[in-house]
A and B are shown apart, each in its own frame.
Chain A
Amino acid sequence: MAKYIIIISFLISIAVRLYFILIGKHVGDIHLIYMMGSTFAEGKNPYLVYDYYVYTPLVIFLERFTLLLPSIVHLPFHMVTKFWPNLADFLTALLLYKYFIRTQVKPITAALWVALFILNPISIIISSAHGQLDSVFSLFILIAIYSITLKQKYFYLSALMLGISIAIKPNPVMLIPFFITFNKTNLKAKFYYLMLTFAPLAVTLIPFLLQEPLKVIGRLVGYSGINDMGLAAIFRGIWYQINAAIDIPLVNKLLSVNKLIFFAGYITIFLIFSGFQKLSKAIVVIYLLFLTTYFGISVQYLVWLIPFAILERDKMIIPYIFFGVLAQLGFYLFLAQNILLGNLSTEASFQVKYIYLYFYGNLLFWAFCLYWLTKIISSDGRIQISRLGTLRKRGIYVSLIVFIIFFYPLIEILKQIVVLFWARI
């Protein structure tokens, strides 16, 4: 029975994904990725050529390779490049099943969770319509978890896998402290682990550092994200009421302040959950904190926590997917219809009728993420805190106070926005 569930869910997923790939167009991030690969193929350094954010080096190498494929398989680039994230989704599904079976989960239960993963619309849309590569680095994080939790001897393999994920996109950097503190190892082992996680990024970055290395590094670390989803979408929706303007007021100030809030919250979460024996749950907590407090959220970030919540068999993932899809549809229909609907897209962006789905979808999604985050902290977090020593408990309280203090500048900016809003509405 379990096998049938997996086979049927895989077949349905393949059919839906193929549909999105076939109607897709060479637009949005696909075009940006294409430009990164083709510029590199011309012998130029994409980090010095473009003013938009150029992904970490492994993506450039991958897309350089992908550029060779269209002439071999006789398919356009925008179809070929989507092969990687979709492949990653299926490999993630298989790995999840393997993990469940190894942890004594009943095959039928495991198969149902795997089906939920492979059929979840958020991942399907991001991988096959948007063509983003976030599923690829998530796969490597999952391998890193698998290595570190199920096979203690693969401690350093886990570091390498985490490093590969960082070489694909830099955001898994925020997970490093949780991996390092997962096992009770000495300082030397932790240091080696840390070095190994940065090795793939360092090695693949070398060819790009030959010219203006500081500028290249600055471009890589200076990216703050795009203000499209979550809090940014809520602000945009409120501001939109004035005269259908999509620009968010004081956006740079908001972004800077939210970085501080996220950082302070991160320290608190780390103090609570470092060494926590449910590593994937700690990852879910960090991603939830990111989704609720950070301002530069792009639509593809919604896929990040899905495999890890499924690994934990946390049923909250079901409403997460539901609200996430609402927010996601709102985003595409309002801001980038041609990415989702490809050749079937008939309307220009920024149609007033879609602002409601964009706003309420994101509001519900954000509120749900906040609820889920609070729920985990008040259950698992409370148990974890009760096990900690006095010093670490004090650290948690101090970081919590800092976290609350960091809301003050945000309130000041909000006051300015309210005054501007009041004057113009």
Chain B
Amino acid sequence: MLKVIILFLLVINIFNLTGLVYAEDKYFLTELELKAAGITEFEKINPNLLIYPFKRLKENIKYVLIFNKQKKNEYLFDLLDIRFKELVYIINSDKIGFISFSADRFNTTIGQIKNRSIKLDERNNTKMRKYLKALERLRDRYHSGSASWEKIQQVVDTVRTII
């Protein structure tokens, strides 16, 4: 039975590997703008992929196993960076169906940062401003008032709460 399951997971992964694209042809933001927002390359596993929960599981396990408060805080910012790249990938590649889900994941991570009352240092503050700039550009890709526009605006508002 195990062999059968492994075989099918492999088949699914073949499909998934095809999804590990960097969406270079689909960029809404130019490469320069992406670099300005701190994105040199996208995440290999994004929320549209079926293996995404395993990535989240791995992150959660790592988060639980960090006992040093300072390192835990730093890891949260790493996670926020991952969520931001995922969100940008989803919007850039026009996967509208996943915007709400990706935005919620991003907002949740900001919520975690706020819950831990972490004060933003200069580096993270600059990073947040870069996020804002990129998100506002991405938001304006959609008609104002549309579901996607409102969802991204919600993300923009959430980022502003921690700056």
Q: Which residues of A contact B (CB under 8 A)?
A: 237-238, 240-245, 351-353, 355-356, 359-360, 363-364, 367-368, 370-371, 418, 421-422, 425
* Bound CA span A243–B101, Å: 12
Residues of B contacting A245 in the complex (Cβ-Cβ under 8 angstroms): 97
**Cβ contact of A363, chosen from B8, B16, B48, cutoff 8 A:** B8
- For chain B, the bracket of interface size reads 20 to 34
- Shortest distance from the beta carbon of B5 to any chain A beta carbon, whole Å: 5
- Shortest distance from the beta carbon of A334 to any chain B beta carbon, whole Å: 13
User: Do B48 and A242 touch across chains, with their CB atoms under 8 A apart?
Assistant: yes
User: Do A237 and B50 touch across chains, with their CB atoms under 8 A apart?
Assistant: yes
User: Do B16 and A241 touch across chains, with their CB atoms under 8 A apart?
Assistant: yes
Count of chain A to chain B residue pairs whose CB atoms are closer than 8 Å in the complex: 57
Residues of B contacting A364 in the complex (Cβ-Cβ under 8 angstroms): 5
- Shortest distance from the beta carbon of A369 to any chain B beta carbon, whole Å: 10
> CB-defined interface of B28-53 with A at 8 Å, one 1/0 digit per residue?
00000000000000000001111011
User: Do A352 and B98 touch across chains, with their CB atoms under 8 A apart?
Assistant: yes
User: Do A422 and B50 touch across chains, with their CB atoms under 8 A apart?
Assistant: no
* Bound CA span A22–B47, Å: 37
Residues of A contacting B21 in the complex (Cβ-Cβ under 8 angstroms): 425
Residues of B contacting A242 in the complex (Cβ-Cβ under 8 angstroms): 48, 95
Shortest Cβ distance from A241 into B: residue: B48
User: Do A244 and B97 touch across chains, with their CB atoms under 8 A apart?
Assistant: yes
- Shortest distance from the beta carbon of A233 to any chain B beta carbon, whole Å: 12
Residues of A contacting B49 in the complex (Cβ-Cβ under 8 angstroms): 241
Shortest Cβ distance from A370 into B: residue: B4
**Cβ contact of B1, chosen from A237, A238, A367, cutoff 8 A:** A367
User: Do A425 and B94 touch across chains, with their CB atoms under 8 A apart?
Assistant: no
Shortest Cβ distance from B54 into A: residue: A356
- Shortest distance from the beta carbon of A202 to any chain B beta carbon, whole Å: 43
User: Do A243 and B15 touch across chains, with their CB atoms under 8 A apart?
Assistant: no
Residues of A contacting B97 in the complex (Cβ-Cβ under 8 angstroms): 243-245, 352
User: Do B1 and A368 touch across chains, with their CB atoms under 8 A apart?
Assistant: yes
Shortest Cβ distance from A363 into B: residue: B8
Main secondary structure of the interface of B (DSSP, over half): helix
Residues of A contacting B73 in the complex (Cβ-Cβ under 8 angstroms): none
* Bound CA span A352–B48, Å: 9
- Shortest distance from the beta carbon of B151 to any chain A beta carbon, whole Å: 12
Could you jot down 20 A-B contacts, CB within 8 Å?
A238-B12, A238-B50, A240-B48, A241-B15, A241-B19, A241-B48, A242-B48, A243-B96, A243-B97, A244-B48, A351-B101, A352-B47, A352-B97, A355-B50, A364-B5, A367-B1, A367-B4, A367-B5, A368-B1, A371-B4
- Shortest distance from the beta carbon of A359 to any chain B beta carbon, whole Å: 6
B18 part of interface (Cβ distance < 8 Å):
yes
State which residues 82-113 of B face A: CB under 8 Å: 94-98, 100-101
State which residues 1-22 of B face A: CB under 8 Å: 1, 4-5, 8, 12, 15-16, 18-19, 21
Residues of B contacting A240 in the complex (Cβ-Cβ under 8 angstroms): 48, 50
Shortest Cβ distance from A357 into B: residue: B53
Shortest Cβ distance from B102 into A: residue: A352
Residues of A contacting B100 in the complex (Cβ-Cβ under 8 angstroms): 352
**Chain A to chain B: the 10 pairs with minimum beta-carbon distance, closest first:** A244-B97, A352-B101, A371-B1, A425-B19, A356-B53, A243-B95, A241-B48, A243-B97, A367-B4, A367-B5
* Bound CA span A360–B4, Å: 14
* Bound CA span A352–B104, Å: 11
With A241-B16, A241-B19, A360-B50 known, 6 other A-B pairs at CB within 8 A are: A238-B50, A243-B48, A243-B94, A353-B101, A359-B50, A422-B18
* Bound CA span A421–B17, Å: 12
Residues of A contacting B19 in the complex (Cβ-Cβ under 8 angstroms): 241, 425
> In this complex, which of B21, B48, B49 has the most chain A Cβ atoms within 10 angstroms of its Cβ?
B48
> In this complex, which of A364, A367, A371 has the most chain B Cβ atoms within 10 angstroms of its Cβ?
A367
Residues of A contacting B50 in the complex (Cβ-Cβ under 8 angstroms): 237-238, 240-241, 355-356, 359-360
- Shortest distance from the beta carbon of B125 to any chain A beta carbon, whole Å: 31
Shortest Cβ distance from A368 into B: residue: B1
Residues of A contacting B53 in the complex (Cβ-Cβ under 8 angstroms): 356
A241-B49, A244-B95, A359-B50 known; A421 and B15 CB under 8 Å?
A: yes
Residues of B contacting A355 in the complex (Cβ-Cβ under 8 angstroms): 50
Shortest Cβ distance from A372 into B: residue: B1
* Bound CA span A242–B49, Å: 8
A243-B94, A421-B18 known; A367 and B47 CB under 8 Å?
A: no
- Shortest distance from the beta carbon of B73 to any chain A beta carbon, whole Å: 26
Residues of B contacting A238 in the complex (Cβ-Cβ under 8 angstroms): 12, 15, 50
Residues of B contacting A353 in the complex (Cβ-Cβ under 8 angstroms): 101
User: Do A243 and B18 touch across chains, with their CB atoms under 8 A apart?
Assistant: no
User: Do B98 and A243 touch across chains, with their CB atoms under 8 A apart?
Assistant: yes
Residues of A contacting B4 in the complex (Cβ-Cβ under 8 angstroms): 367, 370-371
